[in-house]
Copies of this chain bind each other. A is one copy, B any other.
Amino acid sequence: MCSAKALPKFKTLKPSYGFDEVAIVPGDVTLNPDQTNTDFTIGEYTFKIPFMASAMDSVVDVKIVKHLHKLGGLAVLNLDGIQARYENPDEILEKIAKLPDSEVTAYMQKVYREPIKEKLIGERVRQIKKAKAIAAISLVPANTKKFAPIVAEAGGDILVIQSTVTSARHISKSYRGLRFAELTEQLKMPVVVGNCVSYNACLELMRTGIAGVLVGVGPGAACTSREVLGIGVPQITATIDCAAARDEFYRESGKYIPIITDGGLRKGGDICKSFAAGTDAVMIGSPIAQTEEAPGRGYHWGMSQISPTLPRGTRIKVGINTTLEKLFFGPTSKTHGTENFVGALKTAMGFCGAATIQEMHNAEMVIAPSIGTEGKIYQMTQGV
């Protein structure tokens, strides 16, 4: 009796937002910053500041791991890169920093062809443990089965398995897909996995028993994953979606698995917005690459750059902006939000009346125009 003609089906697109398109609305209650607590927990480890340093050769070496441990955060050492390929990584890093742009890509492609040494994996872990710092070690999925036991044996505390996009179900011809459920059962240490950006992918990962999820794929319009592959989700939306998955997983399991927004964070404002969007911690790369202590010596590069057939990203001169301590705690005379990240976070939490990171997740946010005109008027009136 009722015959409806099927309507044409058009693909629908969901809006998404990055750091520059949103802002935090101050709360109805306000707190003094000294009454805020920024504790962050992975497995049984609790950190005073919810900051992780990216597992990149230009960002973290053993020295940074120790230093950030003292400051209350967690630096992840990449054992798929220079640190696991060379006895003396500083020699290589020094050369990368010194080569002209025209020669550096070829040199780096050569550097990363050197095989990983199992011996060095254990040694790096032990160097960290000797200083009583927490040893968080990063591996790529393809190497995890082989090297994870070495990390465990050497006393590693946290394993980070990271690639551009990681899903709970990866299908491969060349190696039997890593099963996170099996891995987390076998290993004693908490496993942090990433990156992912969507509700479903995040929820599936959490159901495998992992201890944390890194959030972020091609966050910016100028990101190389976005330019080369078209793939990526702006970080505020990625964080909101994965936070919803975390909350759903908590409802279904009673387990609170932290998410860590990773990628594209440059300023205090980006960091505060990530927490308001729902993250439990942030992972930062380039701001640390810009510290005096960073192994990159004023340069920064990603791992995906190394691909011999499809490089994405390039060695970027980021310069030296500050020290590691000032980056997190100031004092600062800079006014653009590139120092004193912890001070900025605690001030923002105070303005939102949030005593803890979890309370900060409830801060109201607005979509705000990303193009400012402040300052233009001066030039205009000056010119007359």
Residues on A close to B: CB < 8 A? 6, 8-11, 13-32, 34-35, 105-106, 109, 164-174, 196-201, 204, 217-218, 220-224, 226-234, 236-237, 240-241, 243-245, 247-248, 251, 264, 266-273, 276-278, 286, 290, 305, 308-314, 316-319, 321, 330-338, 340, 343-344, 347-348, 351-353, 361, 364-375, 377-378, 380-382, 384
Which residue of the partner chain B has the closest CB to A18? B369
Cross-chain contact B316 with A231 (CB below 8 angstroms): no
Q: Judge whether A312 and B338 touch: CB under 8 Å.
A: no
CB nearest to A174 among chain B residues = B32
Whole-angstrom CA separation of A331 from B344 in the bound complex? 44
**Assuming the A-B contacts A221-B371, A336-B227, are A248 and B167 also in contact, with contact meaning beta carbons closer than 8 angstroms in the complex?**
no
Contact of A277 among B11, B106, B167, B380 (CB under 8 A): B11
Write out the residue numbers on chain B whose beta carbons fall within 8 Å of the beta carbon of A165: 26, 30, 351
User: Could you tell me if A378 and B317 are in contact, using CB atoms closer than 8 angstroms?
Assistant: yes
Which chain B residues border A221 with CB–CB below 8 Å? 20, 368-372, 374
Contact of A371 among B204, B335, B370, B384 (CB under 8 A): B370
Contacts beyond the supplied A16-B366, A16-B369, A309-B331: 15 A-B pairs with Cβ under 8 Å: A8-B245, A10-B240, A14-B364, A24-B229, A25-B231, A31-B172, A35-B172, A221-B368, A221-B369, A227-B337, A290-B381, A309-B340, A314-B335, A338-B381, A369-B370
Q: Are A348 and B229 in contact (CB under 8 A)?
A: yes
Instruction: Tell me the nearest residue of chain B to A33, going by C-beta.
Output: B310
Residue of B nearest to A366 (CB): B16
Contacts of A241 in B (CB 8 A): 10
Interface contact A11-B243, CB-CB below 8 Å: yes
Q: Which residues of B contact A231 (CB under 8 A)?
A: 23-26, 269, 272, 348, 351-352
Chain B residue nearest to A8 (CB atoms) is B244
**In the complex, are the beta carbons of B9 and A368 less than 8 A apart?**
no
B278 contacts A375, C-beta separation under 8 Å:
no
Q: What's the Cα separation between A221 and B20 when bound, in Å?
A: 8
13 contacts between A and B (CB under 8 A): A13-B367, A20-B373, A26-B196, A26-B197, A26-B201, A28-B168, A29-B169, A35-B173, A227-B269, A228-B268, A229-B348, A234-B369, A310-B331
Asked if B319 and A334 sit within 8 Å, CB to CB, the answer is no
